[in-house]
């Protein structure tokens, strides 16, 4: 009996951690504007710098590791992985960059991913080439693609310009690989995935759930993300990232 008990104990030690890990839930969060809401656009697409900082302090204090998509494999190595993403490349994302710089220390190295609409670079309310270059060079921000003009990809034909064109333009500015695409409006179908695969390793939707690796077809091109909104309280934020 003792041998049998030991055998089953060894099986538990061998298989339970890997099974538990396979079910690990990883938050991928979406932000847009990090700024005070001044009455233009949708209030819910804003998060104030004060609230954003509180949220990042929460992640720091709870032992989360903030990753970018060029470090995807680190999800298997680090404690409590999480991805912070920003869509559209607004100028006010510099506020998030400043907060990351402020909170960075020996034990907490915050990083985030900004998905840029490449044809909008340099507009009055968007990041400039120099903004993008500074952030990319810092190692704190990864600059990735949100297409060239932000179309609904399920309704277009000129995929090469929207996908390859934006990738090439961003890479020329940053000098770093662009391997992730955020689908405009989160819209995707089998044709969009097939085109995305030609140029990218990851495709991100707006399906509101935590990522769990299931081994399904094209799952890295159907990555889910959860919106963090103007109205999201710190308690709600904590429940989102903890999968409650």
Q: What is the pLDDT of residues 134-160, one digit of tens each?
A: 999 999 999 999 999 999 999 999 999
Distances (CA, A) of 174 to 107, 109, 118, 192: 27, 20, 12, 25
Residues of the chain above pLDDT 70, percent: 91
Of the candidate ranges 21-30, 65-74, 82-91, 194-203, the one whose mean pLDDT is the lowest: 21-30
Taking the C-alpha atoms of residue 200 and residue 98, their distance in angstroms, rounded to an integer, is 28
Q: Is the pLDDT of residue 20 over 70?
A: no
Length of the chain equals 244
Residue 135: which of 174, 172, 168, 109 has the closest Cα?
A: 174
Q: How far is CA 176 from the centre of its chain?
A: 17
| Residue 228 token pair | 């963090």
Cα gap 46→52, rounded to integer Å: 10
Output the pLDDT for position 8: 42
DSSP code, position 126: B
Cβ–Cβ contacts within 10 Å for residue 135, how many?
Answer: 22
Band of pLDDT at residue 2, cut at 50, 70 and 90:
very low
CA dist 234 to 9, 80, 155, 165, Å?
Answer: 41, 18, 38, 39
Between CA 45 and CA 183 the distance in angstroms is 17
Mean pLDDT of 215-241: 97
pTM of the predicted protein model:
0.91
The mean predicted confidence, pLDDT, of the chain is: 92
Domains of the chain: residue spans and CATH: 27-241 (3.20.20.370)
* Strand 112-116, strand 141-145: pairing: parallel
Distance from C-alpha of 37 to C-alpha of 44, rounded to nearest angstrom: 9
User: What is the predicted pLDDT for the residue at 4?
Assistant: 45
**Tally of CA atoms within 13 A in the half-sphere of 168 that contains its CB:** 6
Kindly report, residue by residue over 78-131, the tens digit of the pLDDT: 989 999 999 999 999 999 999 999 999 999 999 999 999 999 999 999 999 999
Find the helix or strand (DSSP H, E) in which 54 lies: helix 49-61
Q: Which residue has the tokens 């993300």?
A: 225
Q: Would the pLDDT of 13 be above 50?
A: no
């Amino acid at each position: 009996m003792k041998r049998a008990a030991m055998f089953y104990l060894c099986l538990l030690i061998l298989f339970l951690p890997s099974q538990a890990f396979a079910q690990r839930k990883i938050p991928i969060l979406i932000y847009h504007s990090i700024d005070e809401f001044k009455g233009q656009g949708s209030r819910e697409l804003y998060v104030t710098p004060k609230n954003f900082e509180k949220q990042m302090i929460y992640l720091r204090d709870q032992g989360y590791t903030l990753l970018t998509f060029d470090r995807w494999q680190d999800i298997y190595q680090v404690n409590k992985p999480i991805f912070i993403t920003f869509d559209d490349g607004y100028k006010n994302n510099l506020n998030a960059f400043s907060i990351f710089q402020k909170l960075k220390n020996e034990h907490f190295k915050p990083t985030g991913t900004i998905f840029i609409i490449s044809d909008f670079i340099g507009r009055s309310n968007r990041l400039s080439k120099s903004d993008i270059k500074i952030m990319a060079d810092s190692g704190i921000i990864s600059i990735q693609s949100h297409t060239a003009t932000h179309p609904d990809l399920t309704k277009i034909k000129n995929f090469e310009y929207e996908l390859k064109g934006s990738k090439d333009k961003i890479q020329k500015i940053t000098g770093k690989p662009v391997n992730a695409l955020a689908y405009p409006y989160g819209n995707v179908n089998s044709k969009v995935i097939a085109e995305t695969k030609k140029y990218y390793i990851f495709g991100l939707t707006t399906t509101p759930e935590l990522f769990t690796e299931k081994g399904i077809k094209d799952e890295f091109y159907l990555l889910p993300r959860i919106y963090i909104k103007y109205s999201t309280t710190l308690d709600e934020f904590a429940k989102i990232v903890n999968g409650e």
